[in-house]
């Protein structure tokens, strides 16, 4: 290698090292994990029934929610758990309006008395 090429490699190594040192604290942070909180809940996605009717109900509610483009990403990703026709809605949403809209979307599929709305408004 020529001295010029060695100098370029050394500069590239230095810049790369500095970039790694600068970004390493940011990369080390992980997204919040609510697994510990979910362990305290009696209804989790693991409780979803494998019965054809329950799976169909969950799919219909999911489709109704995701097709509403006015809802946030949080709202589109709420948990929908259907067991023996009873639906539980869980997860964070952006506002009370979203919470009510999701419950209304679910009530269009099953009767409102079969819905447990455990959605929380993210502050």
Q: What is the DSSP letter of 80?
A: E
Q: What is the pTM of this model?
A: 0.64
Domain 43-121: state its class: alpha beta
The pLDDT tens digits of the residues spanning 35-69 come to 555 555 556 666 777 888 999 999 999 999 999 98
Instruction: Tell me: pLDDT of 10 over 90.
Output: no
Q: List the domain boundaries for the chain.
A: 43-121
| pLDDT higher than threshold 70 for residue 33 | no
CA distance 75 to 103: 11
Rounded to 10°, the helix 52-66/96-107 angle is 140
Q: With contact defined as beta carbons under 8 Å apart, do 75 and 102 qualify?
A: yes
Q: What does residue 83 show for φ and ψ, rounded to 5 degrees? A: -135, 120
DSSP state of 112: G
């Amino acid at each position: 290698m020529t001295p010029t090429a060695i100098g370029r490699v050394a500069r590239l190594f230095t810049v790369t090292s500095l970039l790694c040192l600068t970004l390493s604290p940011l990369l080390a942070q992980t997204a919040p994990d609510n697994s510990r909180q979910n362990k305290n809940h009696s209804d989790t996605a693991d409780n979803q029934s494998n019965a054809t009717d329950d799976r169909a109900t969950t799919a219909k509610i999911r489709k109704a929610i995701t097709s509403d483009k006015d809802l946030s990403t949080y709202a589109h990703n709420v948990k929908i758990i259907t067991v023996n026709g009873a639906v539980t809605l869980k997860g964070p949403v952006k506002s009370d309006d979203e919470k009510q809209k999701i419950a209304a979307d679910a009530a269009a599929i099953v009767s409102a008395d079969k819905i447990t709305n455990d959605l929380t408004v993210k502050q």
